[in-house]
Amino acid sequence: MFWLIYPLTGALAGLLAGLFGLGGGLVMVPALLWIFDLQGFAPAHLMHLAVGTSLAAIVFTGTASAQAHLRRGAVDMRLAGWLTLGILLGAALGSVLAGRLEGETLRALFGGFLILVATKLALELRPGTAVTAPRPLLLLPAGGGIGALSVLLGIGGGTLTVPLLLWLGAAMTTAVGTAAACGVPIALAGTLGFVLIGRDAAGLPPASLGYVYWPAVLGLVLLSIPGARLGAVLAHRLPARRLRRLFALVLILVGVHMLS
């Protein structure tokens, strides 16, 4: 049954990512948390496994997305370069913090983040434009914060990077493309971090490496990219505002459940 659930979860994550421009990690982490619980994995490891596995899946889906944006010339390599330096440092910090936090604390952080994202989605909040041009002294710490929080939450960082780049005056297509490129080092560093912090954990399921459960990674990747492509097509044909608010409501309900 789970060999079917994982690809379907990946397809749904990809579909919603393509439809609303959000990272698939927002869908994958809660779904994996539920699926791993059904599989009877050790409760103490559930959240760490969900986050680590989500990051590993994003390595593959994020690479495909970044390549597509690169081909279209939608990646600002200067911005991506400076952000990535900060991201790698922040991802290392996020991995260390994740190893020291209890699963329930990670779960609460993710639940609160879902509610914030849902509020932004429902109200269609967008940042204004910064008065000054982006500078390395700003991009480095911003990348560090994005990297740390993204690794803690198991997301590719687009939900955080796109608003930052829009605030810095980037066009929407450039912001999305550059965020996709930055999501790959986030996922790579985060995956490595969760492999390392979970290497000595007792009671992990077979076929896992640290806090990454590879059968789930393979299943998620199988249909997530086709799902994202379909979502991008549907975004131009469906009532986007109504669907966005409905999805925001679902995110709030999931977030409240994770906080309870």
- Percent residues over pLDDT 70 in the chain: 93
Nearest to 162 by CA among 151, 177, 148: 177
pTM (2 d.p.): 0.89
- How many other CB atoms are there within 10 angstroms of residue 69's CB atom? 18
Q: What is the pLDDT of residues 127-168, one digit of tens each?
A: 666 655 556 678 889 999 999 999 999 888 888 888 888 888
Residues 6 or more apart whose Cβ sits within 8 Å of residue 73: none
Q: What is the mean pLDDT of residues 217-230?
A: 88
Cα–Cα distance measured from residue 71 to residue 65, given in angstroms and rounded to the nearest whole number: 10
Distance CA 55, CA 175 (A): 21
What tens digit of pLDDT does each residue of 27-61 get?
899 999 999 999 999 999 999 999 999 999 999 88
Q: What are the tens digits of pLDDT across the range 88-124?
A: 999 999 999 998 999 899 999 999 998 988 888 778 7
Report the C-alpha gap between 35 and 121 in whole angstroms.
Answer: 26
Residues 40 and 58: their CA atoms lie apart, in Å, by: 24
